[in-house]
Amino acid sequence: MKSLLIEKALSAAVRDVAVPEPGEGQVRLRVEYVGICGSDLHYYYEGANGAFVVREPLVPGHELSGRVDLDPSGVLAAGTAVTVHPARFGTPREGIEHAPHLWPGGSYLGSASTWPHTQGAASEYLIVEADMVRVLPDDLPVRRAVLAEPLAVALHALGKAGDVAGLDVLVTGSGPIGLMAVAAAVAAGARVTATDVLSGPLERATALGASATIDVSAEAVEPNAYAVVLECSGVPVSISTALKSVRPGGTVVQVGMLPDDPRPVNLAPFISKEVRYLGAFRFLDEIDRAVELLARTPGIEAALTHEFAVTDADEAFATARDSQRSGKVVFAL
C-alpha cells in the first residue's frame, strides 16, 4: 500500500509498505480522506510539533474518514462508511477519572509524542481498535465526515462554556478550528462574531453562519461585549483581546494551542471582571455529536476548500499553510 511519510523537516515521501493485518479487537479501514491539521504542518515544516520530534518516519493525519476493509469479528461489514476517534487513552488518575482524554500515557494518531511513533491515517489502509470506529449515518457523506475530529474539538470547547443559546459569542481566529467553532456555536443557537487578520477566513466564517466578522488588523473588538469567547488562534495578542472583549463574569475558552514558553498577555481584565478562563484539550466523546451535527448540517462541508493526492504532499502542506486561500485541506486517497 501507499503511505505518506514525513522523514524530517521539509521532507515527505510516498512509500510502498506492507498492508497491515488486524489483530484481535481491531479493524482495518480503507482510508478515503485525511485532513491536514496544524500539528501536521509543524511536523512537516519543522520536523517537530513542540517538544515532539520526528525520530522515525511518521505517517501524519488524525482527521479521517473511509470505509471498513476487514473486521475479523464480523461485526462491521466491508464497505461500511466510518470515521475514527483518533485517541487511545492512557492510565487513569485520581481526580480526572471521567476525563480519559487527560490521562497520561495515551496516544493520538499521527503523533511523535510516543516511541515508537503513533502512525497516522495518510495511508491507503489503517488499523485501529474497534472502539475507535464510528459508523456514519446514511445521510452523511464520507467526504464531509473527515471534519468530525476538528468539529469534535470545537464542540468540546463549546461545552466548557455551557449553554450559549441566545448569547453573543466571539470566535477569535477563523482558521480551520475557528471555522468549526463558528459552526458549533451557530448550531447551538448563539449569535456569532468571528475575527481574523485576513479576508479569506472571514468570508468562510460568514459562509458557516457567523452573523458578523471583524478584521482585527484594521478594527478593534468592542470591549465587554461577549458572554463567551472561543480563542482559536493561539496568538498571545488574541488572548489579550479575548479577555478584554468578554463581558464581566463571562467565559473565555482557550482552544488554540500556544508554544510551551512564556508569552506576554494582559491579565488585568481577567482579574477585574472575574472572568472564567478555561482550557480545552482535544475531546472526550464529542465526536459522536460531531457526526450527528455534520449529518444534519450539510453546509459545514463548505469548510473543505482543497483536495490533494498524497503524491502532491508538498503542495498540499503549502496550501494548508496559506490561510488566506484555504480552509480545511484534505488528502483524497
User: Would you state the cell numbers that stand for residue 303, as one nine-digit string?
Assistant: 469548510
pLDDT tens digit sequence for 117-169: 999 999 999 999 999 999 999 999 999 999 999 999 999 999 999 999 999 99
Give the pLDDT confidence score for residue 258 in this predicted structure: 87
Give bridge partners of residue 169 from the DSSP assignment: 192, 228
Closest to 227 in 3D by CA, of 189, 183, 255: 189
User: Would you state the cell numbers that stand for residue 236, as one nine-digit string?
Assistant: 498571545
Q: Quick check: 42 pLDDT over 90?
A: yes
Give SS3 for 151: helix
Confidence of residue 50 (pLDDT cuts 50, 70, 90): confident
pLDDT tens digit sequence for 74-112: 999 999 999 999 999 999 999 999 999 999 999 999 999
Confidence of residue 259 (pLDDT cuts 50, 70, 90): confident
Q: How many CB atoms lie within 10 A of CB 51?
A: 8
Report pTM.
0.98
pLDDT (average), residues 253-263: 91
